[in-house]
A and B are shown apart, each in its own frame.
Chain A
Amino acid sequence: MSKEKEKEGGSETFIRRFHAFSVLVLIGVIGFFVYSNTVNEEAKYPFKLGLDLAGGSHLVYEADVSKIAPEEVGDLMNVLRDVIERRVNIFGVSEPIVQVESSSFVSDERVERLVVELPGVTDVSEAVKEIGKTPLLEFRLVDEIALANSYATTTATGTVPLPEDPFIDTGLTGRYLASAALEFAGGNGGQLSNEPIVSIVFNAEGAALFETITRDHTGQSLAIFLDGEMISSPRINEAIVGGRAIISGGFTPEEARELAKNLNFGALPVPIELASTQTVGASLGEEVLQKGMQAGVFGLSLVILFMVLWYRLPGLVAGVSLLGYVAVMLALFKLIPVTLTAAGLAGFVLSLGMAVDANVLVFERMKEEYRSGQKSNEAARVGFARAWSAIRDGNVTSILSAILLFWFGTSLVKGFALVFGLGVVVSMLSALLVTRTLLLALPESQIDKSTLLSKLYNSGLIVKK
C-alpha cells in the first residue's frame, strides 16, 4: 500500500470514529435531557402519567344526539366539551382532560361520548355531582293543536292514543347562552312583586335565532325546559330583538341564584348520561409504576446481557444502540407527549426485546460474511445491505398495523398503537444509524487472525480455537 493510500485510509477511519463519537454524544445528550426532566420536580417536560399510574377518576358520559342533525353533532359535542371543561376546572384539578370520543364507523349506531379524566381525584362522587350540576336548557315551541288534542283524547274517550309530542324543538338551547343573572321581577302592578327570576342573554347567533323564532311564531307559546322539565311556557307577544329572555318559574331566591350561577358556567347543549366510571387509588398507581420501571430495567439488562454474551463485540454495540433506543423513546414520550399507562409501560418493556431484532438480523448476515473470510468492516457493510429487505418488509407491516390501530382504536388502543408504532420506527433507525455507525468505527479484524479481536467478532457462547 502506498503512503498516500494509507493516509486516506487513516483519515477515513478518523471520520468514521468522529461519526461514532457524535452518535454517542447525541445519545448522551438525549439521555441527559430525559434524566434532568425526570428528577427535576418542576421540569418542563415531565412524563405524562395515565390515570392508572397517577391515580384519579375516569368518567365516560354518553350524549343523546338523536334529535340533532348529523352535520351539527360535531359542533355541539365541542360546545359540550367546553362547558364540561369549564365545570371541571372549578374543582381545581391539575390538568383535567375532557375530550369527545365518537364511536367509529364499525358500530351501527353513532354514539357520541365525552371522556372526563380527573387526575388525583379519587372521590368520584364529588366529581359526578359537580358535573351533574351543569344545567340543560332548551327552548321548545308549543304546538297548541297537538297539545289540545292530547288533552281532548284523554278526557273524552279515556283511552290515550299516543299523543303527538306537543313540543317542537327550535334548536335554541343553552349552547347559545352568553350570560345569566339573578333578578327580581319589578312589582308589576303590585301583584308579582319581587319574584326571583333569571334573566339570560344569548350570544349573537342565539339572539338572531331567538328573533327569528319569536317573529315567525308570534302568538304561540315558547316553553322553557330545564333538565328536561318544563319551567314555564310564556306566550310570544312580539318579535324579540336583542337576545334577552327571562326564565321565571316560581323559584325561591336560592334556587334562582344557583341556576344563574350554573348557567354562567355554561348550559348543556344536549342531555348526557354517565356510562362508565373508573377510579384508581393514588398509592396503587404509584406501586404499578414502580414495578413497571423495575421490570423495564431488568428487561433491558437481560436483553443487553444476552446480546453481549452471544454476539460479543457487535452485541455490545447493539446494547449501546438499545440504550439509544430507550433514550429516544423516553424523550419522545415526554415531547409528544404520550400518556403512559400500565399497558403502555408493558408494551414498552416488550418492545425492548423486539427492538434488537434488526440488530440480530444484521449480525447473522454479517456473521455469514465474516466466517467466509471477509474483513469485519466489509462483513458489516454487506450484513446491513443484505438484511435491509427483511428489516423493511417486517417493519412496514408493523407500521401499517400501528397506523390502522391508531386510526380506529379507542383511546387506550390508540396509546398502545402509538407506542408500538414509534417503537418500530425508532428501533429501525437505531439499528440503521447507531449500530451501523458504531460498528464501522471499530478496529478491523478477520476470522483467520487468531487475535482476541478476531474472536470478538464471531458469535456463539463457545469460543472455538
Chain B
Amino acid sequence: MPFIQHRKIFLGIAVVVVLAAVGIIAALGLPLGIDFTGGALTEVAYEQLPEKAYVETSLDTQGLGQYSLRETKDEAGRDGFILRTRDLTEEERIRVSGVLTDASTGGEITRFTSIGPVIGEELKDKALWAIVGVSLIIILYVAFAFAGVSYPVGSWMYGGITILALLHDVLVPTAVMALLGYFAGMEADVLFVMALLAVLGYSVNDTIVVFDRVRENLMKHRHEKKTKVVGTDGLEREEITYKLQKPFAEIVGEAVSQTLMRSINTSLTTLAALSALYFFGGEVTRTFTLVLIAGVLAGTYSSICIANPLLVFVAERKAAKETEAK
C-alpha cells in the first residue's frame, strides 16, 4: 500500500502543509469580521452606481473614523457598496443611511448589521470553546470505541491521532480563509466557525471509518494468549497477550486500501454538493463554501495519508523502545 509504504513522504507533505498553514495564518492574520470585532456593516444597492469618491467625500463629514467602502453586487445583480465602520448608534445609522441612499437614484439599504464589541468578544470565546469542546468529546469517544484493540497501539492513541489529523484539517481551511481575506477581501464571520465545525465532523467521521477497518482487521489477524500470572499481592490474575499474524503496517495498509474507495466517493459526493452551493448558492455563503471545500480536501488527505501512517509510525516507535528495553 503506497500510503503506508511511503508514509514518510506523505507525513512529510503533511508537516510542510501544516507549517505553511501556520505561517500563512501568522503572516496574514485571520480577517475577523464584525461578528467578532464589533462594528457595523451597511450594504446599499442603486439603480445607477454613484462615484465612489463622491460617496466617500460625503461619508467623511459624518465623523465615522476609519471606514472602508467597497463596491459590490447584491444578490439580484444590482451595483452597490459595502460600508464597514465601527459600531454605529441609532442616530449615526440614520445619518449614514441617509448619506448612502441619497448618493444616487434608487438607493436602498439592503442590509445593515451593527454589533457591539462585547458581543463580538464573547462570540470569539464561544467559538473557541465550541471547537475545543468538540475535540475533547471526540478524543474521549474514540478512545472508548477502540478500547478493545489496545495492542499494538493504545486505544488513547487512536483518539490522539484523530485530534492531530483534526488539527491539520482545521489549520488548512483557516489558512485558506486568511488567503481569501488577504486577496479577495473576504471576512471570517460566524459562518466560518460553522464551516470549521462541519469540517471537524466530516474529518472525524472519515478518520474513524478507516480506523474501524484497522480495528476489524486487527481482531481478525491476532492470536489471543491467556496466561495466569501471580501478582505481588499473591492473587492470581489472567493476563491476555496478543500476537499479530501479520506485520501491523500491513494490516493498516490493507485497511486503508479497503476503505479508499469509500473515502474518495464520500468526498466526491460532498464536493458535488458544495460545488452546487458555490455556483448556484447565494453570495452570503460563498466564503463558507470555499472554506468547507478546503476542509473536505484536507480531511480526506488526513484520514488516508496522515492518520494511518501515524498509527504505524507510533507502533514502530513503541516496538523499537520495547526491544531496546530488553
Contact = CB atoms under 8 A, between A and B. Distances in A.
Interface of A: 52, 60, 62, 103-104, 106-107, 111, 122, 124-125, 128, 274-281, 283-284, 287-288, 291-292, 294-296, 298-300, 302-303, 306-307, 310, 342-343, 345-347, 349-354, 356-357, 360-361, 364, 368, 386, 389-390, 393-398, 400-401, 404-405, 408-410, 412-413, 416, 420, 424
Interface stretch (B12-20, B51-59, B114-122): B114-122
A288 B284 contact: yes
6 contacts: A106-B122, A125-B90, A281-B111, A287-B76, A393-B141, A397-B142
Contacts of B109: 122, 279, 281
Nearest to A390: B212
Interface string B96-120: 0000000000001111111110110
A23 B90 CA distance: 55
A109 to B, nearest CB: 9
A400 B142 CA distance: 12
A419 to B, nearest CB: 10
A352 B273 contact: yes
B125 A107 contact: yes
Contacts of B169: none
Contacts of A346: 191, 277, 281, 285, 288-289
Contact of B145 (A278, A393, A409): A393
Interface of B: 43, 74-76, 87, 90, 93-94, 108-116, 118-119, 122-123, 125-126, 129-130, 133-134, 137-138, 141-142, 145, 190-191, 193-194, 197-198, 200-202, 204-206, 208-209, 212-213, 215-216, 258-259, 261-262, 265-266, 268-277, 279-285, 288-289, 292
Given A279-B109, A350-B274, A401-B134, A357 B205 contact: yes
Contacts, number: 241
A280 to B, nearest CB: 5
B146 to A, nearest CB: 9
Given A52-B284, A283-B110, A401-B134, A275 B118 contact: yes
A122 B43 CA distance: 13
B280 A291 contact: yes
Nearest to A364: B262
Contact of A361 (B87, B200, B262, B271): B262
A343 B269 CA distance: 20
Given A343-B288, A393-B208, A405-B134, A353 B270 contact: yes
A288 B138 contact: no
Given A124-B112, A405-B134, A353 B141 contact: no
A353 B274 contact: yes
Given A288-B282, A291-B282, A397-B138, 17 more contacts: A52-B284, A62-B116, A106-B125, A107-B122, A125-B90, A274-B90, A275-B115, A277-B113, A278-B113, A281-B110, A284-B110, A298-B276, A349-B276, A364-B261, A394-B206, A397-B201, A410-B126
Nearest to B281: A295
A355 B41 CA distance: 35
Given A343-B288, A395-B205, A280 B265 contact: no
A115 B232 CA distance: 65
B281 A276 contact: no
A356 B269 contact: yes
Contacts of A400: 137-138, 141
A413 B130 contact: yes
A389 B212 CA distance: 7
B289 to A, nearest CB: 7
B255 to A, nearest CB: 11
Given A299-B272, A353-B274, A401-B197, A394 B208 contact: yes
B268 to A, nearest CB: 6
B182 to A, nearest CB: 23
Contacts of A395: 205
Contacts of B208: 390, 393-394, 397
Contact of A284 (B74, B141, B269): B74
B262 A413 contact: no
B120 to A, nearest CB: 9
B281 A408 contact: no
Contacts of B118: 62, 111, 275
B282 A342 contact: yes
Contacts of B206: 394
Nearest 10 interchain pairs by C-beta: A353-B273, A353-B270, A287-B75, A299-B276, A295-B281, A394-B205, A298-B276, A390-B212, A299-B273, A302-B272
Contacts of A287: 74-76, 282
Contacts of A345: 281, 285
A111 to B, nearest CB: 7
A394 B212 CA distance: 9
Contact of B273 (A279, A281, A342, A350): A350
B272 A353 contact: yes
B126 A409 contact: yes
A393 B144 CA distance: 10
A292 B289 CA distance: 12
B285 A364 contact: no
A288 B75 contact: yes
Nearest to A362: B262
Nearest to B288: A346
A275 B123 CA distance: 14
Contact of B198 (A397, A408, A409, A420): A420
Contacts of A343: 190-191, 194, 285, 288
Q: Which residue, A103, A302, A345, has most C-beta atoms of chain B within 10 A? A: A302
